[in-house]
Structure 1
Amino acid sequence: MVNSTSSTPHQLQKVEINVDCGEAFGFWQCGPDEELMPLIDAANIACGGHAGDPVTIRRTVALAKKHGIKVGAHPGFPDKVGFGRRVLAMTSEQAYAEMLYQVGALKVFLDEAGVPLNHIKPHGMWYIMMQNNEELNDAAMRAISHFKVPVYGMPNTLHESGAKKYGIPFIPEAFVDVNYNSEGILLGVPGSRKMTTEDIYQAAISLGKKGVVPAVDHSLVDVGVKGVPFTICLHSDLKTCRENVAAARKAVNEINQELYNRS
């Protein structure tokens, strides 16, 4: 059994599940947030960039509060047409200001509801590009540092080193409903193969016990979470999201009971 008693306040005590929520916009709905909340530990709420609007943000904060779910900001490229999953060119100044703007928008609604901001996790292509784009990563991390909360990111990438540079607590994250390539680079939804619920369950078990996960070509890749609590991300916009999250929850509960003696 892993001993996690020496963890700092910002470190996880067990493996957790985070899901992207509040990704509706106006009359367009996306994701069964109400059904997913009881199955997750943290909700990443869209901040109006790739999805979300003021009413949706406020309603999603209230929903998370109702279920006692931790809330994180999920800022994305300001590209609702592409759902934040297209490459968008931004200067450092634009990326810095956009991060402050979007997280600040969510923070107002959290303050109103009396809910703390738990973390920040960039969305989609912004998150993917921050793995290896130093200029974009640095601008985003400088902005994130103002909020004094952890950032969720991929270990052994600029996510981790960029957070360290600005003194931001880093929470390691891994994915089970989308794929990495054979070199451990996250591909995201557009570049991934379809994952079944059994695939997701087995991937989560493998991550929790061995720190490796099948890549898009089925080779095993080490994503830097072996032997430490981490958070698993799933996407609420996939058609099978309910089943996907339920499969991951089953795996995570088994892992936590076996390795961390926690439910």
Structure 2
Amino acid sequence: MPMDINCDMGESFGAFRVGNDQEILRYVTSINIACGFHAGDPMIMRQTVRHAITNNVKIGAHPGYPDLQGFGRRNMEFTPEEIYNMMIYQVGALKAFVDIEGGELHHVKPHGALYNQSANDAVKAQAVIDAVYDLGPNLILYCLSGSLIAKMAKDKGLAVYEEAFSDRNYNDDGTLVSRSFDNALIEGEDAMLEHVSRIILSNEVMTVQNKVIKLNAQTLCIHGDGGHALEFAKKISKLNK
């Protein structure tokens, strides 16, 4: 059975443009739409929702830290209440656009530093989980494969898609290599295809320490802001049939 292929989208705002969203939509099965904190704005949010519905692609919210300058990728410290409230605020805004366009919100995937910091921090994870559950217990949480948040969300009763990444390298413990390191990203097509083939066919990855580790992934992410995102999406779509 083909794996769900998701892509982060709607990350343009104002005069600033990111990615090839409309083209990539043809090759993915779900998307995660920026909600205005790390990227995106009301015009882009509604436009992206419309395009997703037209292409019959599942819609997810992609809430992040309030960090436009750092694209939501800088670690920040907030209280659990602050994390909960910023999740409700962002997902609620996107859901309003989905509702008025006649669509359905399928999932929530935290963005960037919020995603990584909540993956294995029980306090932050609980704030994220509680927000998603209160927004709708039928929503699916997209989160890092093998992470603490995945286990906690399942214990809460949320449906979970554990996620692998098509364009990111891994450490032996299953975490992503930090973007502060030169080897964080997989940028060559051949290397990407080898990496993705392992994930799709065997649910495993080769780490940067040259160790094969198992994953339990139901969805595979393509970063829409990546320089090779469209080309990767085309290749992955063919590989995933």
For normalisation by structure 1, the TM-score amounts to 0.86
Specify the alignment match of 1:69 in structure 2: 57
Structure 1 alignment gaps of length 5 or more: 1-12, 254-263
1:160 aligned counterpart, secondary structure = helix
2:15 aligned counterpart, secondary structure = coil
Do 1:124 and 1:188's aligned partners in 2 also have CA atoms closer than 8 Å? no
Q: What do the CA deviations read for 1:137-188 (whole angstroms, capped 9, x no partner)?
A: 1011100102221111123212212212321111121112011112211235
Cα distance in structure 1, aligned partners of 2:109 and 2:227: 22
Specify the alignment match of 1:157 in structure 2: 147
Q: Please point out which of 12, 17, 20 is paired with 1:32.
A: 20
Specify the alignment match of 1:181 in structure 2: 171
State the 1:190 CA deviation: 4.3
State the 1:193 CA deviation: 3.8
Q: What residue identity is the alignment partner of 1:199?
A: A
Specify the alignment match of 1:222 in structure 2: 214
2:164 aligned counterpart, secondary structure = strand
Cα distance in structure 2, aligned partners of 1:218 and 1:39: 30
Cα distance in structure 1, aligned partners of 2:180 and 2:232: 17
Q: What do the CA deviations read for 1:83-104 (whole angstroms, capped 9, x no partner)?
A: 0100011101100101101100
Specify the alignment match of 2:123 in structure 1: 135
Q: Please point out which of 2, 17, 34 is paired with 2:5.
A: 17
Do 1:19 and 1:42's aligned partners in 2 also have CA atoms closer than 8 Å? yes
Q: Is the deviation greater in 22-31 or in 150-159?
A: 150-159
Cα distance in structure 2, aligned partners of 1:72 and 1:193: 24
Query: Are positions 1:205 and 2:197 aligned together?
Result: yes
2:23 aligned counterpart, secondary structure = helix
Query: Are positions 1:171 and 2:157 aligned together?
Result: no
Cα distance in structure 1, aligned partners of 2:8 and 2:71: 12
Determine what percentage of the aligned residue pairs are the same residue. Answer: 35
For normalisation by structure 2, the TM-score amounts to 0.93
Structure 2 alignment gaps of length 5 or more: none
State the 1:76 CA deviation: 0.8
2:240 aligned counterpart, secondary structure = helix
State the 1:217 CA deviation: 3.6
Cα distance in structure 2, aligned partners of 1:82 and 1:138: 24
Q: What residue identity is the alignment partner of 2:148?
A: L
Do 2:169 and 2:186's aligned partners in 1 also have CA atoms closer than 8 Å? no
Specify the alignment match of 1:48 in structure 2: 36
Residue correspondence of structure 1 range 118-129 to structure 2 within 5 A: 118-129=106-117
Query: Are positions 1:82 and 2:70 aligned together?
Result: yes
Q: What residue identity is the alignment partner of 1:18?
A: N
Say what the alpha-carbon RMSD is for the aligned residues.
Answer: 1.4
1:50 aligned counterpart, secondary structure = coil
Q: What residue identity is the alignment partner of 1:186?
A: L
Cα distance in structure 2, aligned partners of 1:14 and 1:244: 16
Q: What residue identity is the alignment partner of 1:172?
A: E
How many residue pairs end up in the alignment?
237
Q: What do the CA deviations read for 1:181-228 (whole angstroms, capped 9, x no partner)?
A: 122112354440443112222212111222111223443222224xxx
Call closer, same or farther: CA 1:188–1:63 in 2, change over 3 Å.
Answer: farther
